[in-house]
Structure 1
Amino acid sequence: MDQKKYSWRNFFQLIISAKPANWIIFCALIASVITTVAGLVVPLFTKNLIDGFSIASLDIKMVALIVLAFILQAITNGFSIFLLNYMGQKVVATIRERLWRKIVHLPVSYFDNTKTGEMVSRMVNDTVVVKELIADHLPQFVTGIISVVGAVIILFFMDWKMTLIILVAVPITALVVAPLGQKMFKISKGLQNETADFTGSISQTLSEARLVKASNAETRETEAGHKGINRLFGFGIREAKVVAVLGPLIFFVVMGVIVGIIGYGGIRVSAGTMTTGTLIAFLLYLFQIIVPVTSFATFFAQLQKAKGATERIADILNEAEEDFDAGKKVDVSGKTIRATDISFSYNEGEPILKDVSFDTKPGEVIAFAGPSGGGKSTLFAILERFYQPKTGEILVGDIPLSEISINSWRSQIGYVSQESAMLSGTIRDNLCYGLDREINEE
């Protein structure tokens, strides 16, 4: 997929297509609002407590309200985080189910051109990136944004001049963070692709361990693995550089704002235009803004990584899959199979089969003889409907094979390849693999 074509709209459409439950989102947002409100009233109570503070006039009711606000904030915050995490896990599980169903139903030609390890990487590694975004970073972002908005509104009512000092830092930080975020997307995209290629290469090498040993290719594979590891290391270093800039940058801005607020507030308190309680409350609200804002940089970096990860997931989901049920359901027993002028090539200009014709009658035993690479396995792959012939036609009785549903056709034929695959499980499991009916062992 072209990078220009994969936009944020595509990214969010993929997430929304997982159909997150609306009631979970609603309840989580309500809990987040309650959490924010409970947190926002604490500095107001603190302000009143400090401005009128003395041991003799200590307001027990005020202290109790502060404690109650803390308890309510903790409970609703935990509830909100759990619901948003649940939603995130559910969304990612749905994406994984869609991706797995798509992979299983893709045609054989797709697997010929794609490494198995690469698909495994998309299924596992890329979806983990999305899971971390939705389940871990999104809850913090949602609760944080509500807290920031609420705190800023209260601060404007308390002292709009001091609030402006905070807001001045926002556009300055955004101008620097935005290009870094775009760079993170490019690095993440490259990292995910390189991870998929590396996974595919080592999976292939490990699956052919006997060939590696028999060919004395250990040194060659060691060097190939070393190059792949170094490429991954390079992407990791580039990603670390971006993160290393983002973190200190946000910290620098935050500390500058804190120092500015304390200095300006101290002058106002000395001049008698601001009470000590108001300054303390202002600083408490400032920390309610700082803590979420410092996590926003991490969230947006993860958002860029998730966008890069979902690009290849979307590529797989957009692939055309085999339609197993399209066509006729035909009982093929006792019917003649007739092939006429079958031609086929995997690559243009490199024919494997050319004008092959044959008839098979019920009960006949037919042998196809020829050298290795002559097209015998390809011919059976065409009969299995793994591929469509470039020219020619295959008839089952009087019905073209292409008009019979794949499900109906494959359920009535058996194929034992030269190297039969064995799946994990018992011999019975392997013998009955794919059968949709009960087998009588007697």
Structure 2
Amino acid sequence: MTKKINTQTTYTWKKFFALLGSVKPANWIIVIALLTSILTTLAGLVVPLFTKDLIDGFSFSKINASLVIIIVAAFIIQAVANGFSVFLLNYMGQKMVATIRIRLWKKIIHLPVPYYDNTKTGETVSRMINDTILLKELIADHLPQFVTGIISVIGAVTILLFMDWKMTLVILISVPLTALVVAPLGQKMFKISKGLQKETADFTGMISQTLSESRLVKASNAENLEEKRGKEGVNRLFGFGIREAKIVAVLAPLIFFVVMGVIVVIIGYGGIRVTSGTLSTGTLIAFLLYLFQIIVPVTSFVTFFTQLQKSKGATERISEILEQDSENLQNGIEKDISGKKIQVRDVSFAYADGDTILDKINFTANPGEVVAFAGPSGGGKSTLFALLERFYEP
């Protein structure tokens, strides 16, 4: 029997990360990717420090060739290490998604026939393709930016605290304020994404069924009905898309407002400090460079967490399929059936939550004997053969 899906069960973050953790790639890939990410960050953090020294002591007669070489070398190391890190993180993401798809396909192939009776083919295809694409975008595209970004932010904030803790607090205060607004929007994005993925699966299932039965549609003169159903499905998808666009439309200006506000405050406050002589020009420039090393990753974090919510909604359906009970497969047994007869004794059957189709059926089919089953449509002829093929259990 197919395990029934409990749609009321809460899909937690623990289950989401457990799914990702179950398909992690080799540890050496993770270690090398993190090491190259750290190297990228360190190289990037060195540049503002040397820039500060270069500006504060700037003079054409005092230009230090070794300092310029170090800055150029830092740029080169950062570019090479970043490229290598991004490739490894993308490889890791692609490998994880491929593993999930293989597991999902293996599970789908071995699900019992009743599952296919209760699930549209297009819906299953949507889980296999559309939902895993969302997961691929999260792991392969957004995760690398998040990992490198978080390392960059931690490094930059640490240096800034040592450079000038007062100016650093201005940046840090804006983070929790932004999070208070972004967090509830992220929860809404999860609900919208969950509904969007369900609607996409239903729509895929509907059009797949309609196209596969095109002759029946035309024979029944049902083109107008199917046109109406298709239009309704498209409009529902459009509605979810608009709701998602509204959240993005709020997030983008919000983040821009916070970023520009922080930049203006830092420039204004730093300018006053430079004028009063408590801060050097080089330090202010270095501070702004570090500020951009914080701002750029933080803005990408919003995209990452939005995609994370969408991926959680998508993987909920994937997890439901993976938790289904597979058929109790047995190894094939070679057996000589010549001269054997088929016996059916007191066999009864009813589909899940349905009326009894077969009630205490008895018959014997002897070798070489032709047995015919006659009866009206829906009388159970096909069901009886499905039982003989062990698609269902009586």
Structure 1 residue 132: Cα displacement: 0.2
When residues 331 and 246 of structure 1 are mapped into structure 2, their CA distance, relative to the original with a 3 A threshold, is farther
Which residue, 257, 263, 272 being the options, matches 1:267? 272
Partner of 2:136: 131
Distance in 1 separating the partners of 2:248 and 2:335: 61
Higher helix share: 2
Map of 2:165 onto structure 1:
160
Closer, same or farther: CA 293–279 of 1 in aligned 2, 3 Å: same
CA distance in 2, matches of 1:96, 1:373: 37
**TM-fit CA distance, 1:378:** 0.5
* 2:325 paired with 1:320: yes
Determine which structure has greater relative contact order: mean sequence separation of CA pairs < 8 Å that are 6+ residues apart, divided by chain length: 2
Residue 374, structure 1, aligned to residue 379, structure 2 = yes
Q: Distance in 2 between matches of 1:51 and 1:229?
A: 61
Report Cα offsets for 1:176-231 as digits up to 9, x if no partner.
Answer: 11101100000000000000000000000000111111122111111110000000
For residues 237-268 of structure 1, give each alpha carbon's deviation from its aligned partner in whole angstroms, at most 9, with x where no partner exists.
00011111111111111111000000000000
Task: Name the stretch that deviates more: 365-374 or 35-44.
Answer: 365-374
Q: Does 363-372 or 103-112 show the bigger shift?
A: 363-372
Q: In the aligned structure 1, how far is the partner of 2:52 from the partner of 2:249? A: 37
**Counterpart Cα distance in 1 of 2:36 and 2:244:** 35
Matched, 1:310 2:315: yes
What CA distance in whole angstroms lies between the structure 2 residues aligned with 1:347 and 1:14?
A: 30
Hey, what does 1:148 align to over in structure 2?
153
> Over aligned residues, Cα RMSD in angstroms?
1.3
Correspondence for 1:92: 97
Query: What code does the residue aligned with 2:185 have?
Result: L
Distance 1:338 1:273 in 2: 99
Tell me: CA distance 1:347–1:150, structure 2 relative to 1, closer, same or farther (3 Å): closer
- Residues 213 and 119 of structure 1: CA distance in aligned 2, closer, same or farther (over 3 Å): same
Identity %: 72
1:352 lines up with 2:357 in the alignment: yes
Instruction: Supply the distance in 1 between the matched residues of 2:122 and 2:267 (Cα, whole angstroms).
Output: 55
TM-score by length of 1: 0.86
Structure 2: 5+ residue stretches without partners: 1-5
Runs of at least 4 residues of structure 1 off by over 4 A?
Answer: 1-4, 326-331
CA distance in 2, matches of 1:377, 1:19: 45
* 1:239 and 2:277 aligned: no
1:5 Cα offset (Å): 2.6
| 1:85–1:321 CA distance, 2 compared to 1 (3 A) | same
Once the 2 structures are TM-superposed, how far is the Cα of residue 66 of structure 1 from its aligned partner?
0.6
* Structure 1 residue 328 displacement after superposition: 7.0
Describe the shift of the 1:18–1:3 C-alpha distance in structure 2 as closer, same or farther (beyond 3 A): farther
Are residue 188 (structure 1) and residue 201 (structure 2) matched?
no
User: What code does the residue aligned with 2:112 have?
Assistant: P
Q: CA 1:298/1:274 → structure 2, altered by over 3 Å: closer, same or farther?
A: same
Change (3 A) 1:333 1:307: farther
Alpha-carbon distance in 2 for matches of 1:240, 1:230: 15
Please state how far the C-alpha of 1:330 moved relative to its aligned partner. Answer: 4.8
How far 1:332 moved relative to its partner?
Answer: 3.6
- More moved, 53-62 vs 92-101: 53-62
Partner of 1:110: 115
Whichever residue aligns with residue 295 of structure 1, its letter is S
How far residue 331 of structure 1 moved from its aligned partner, in angstroms, is: 4.3
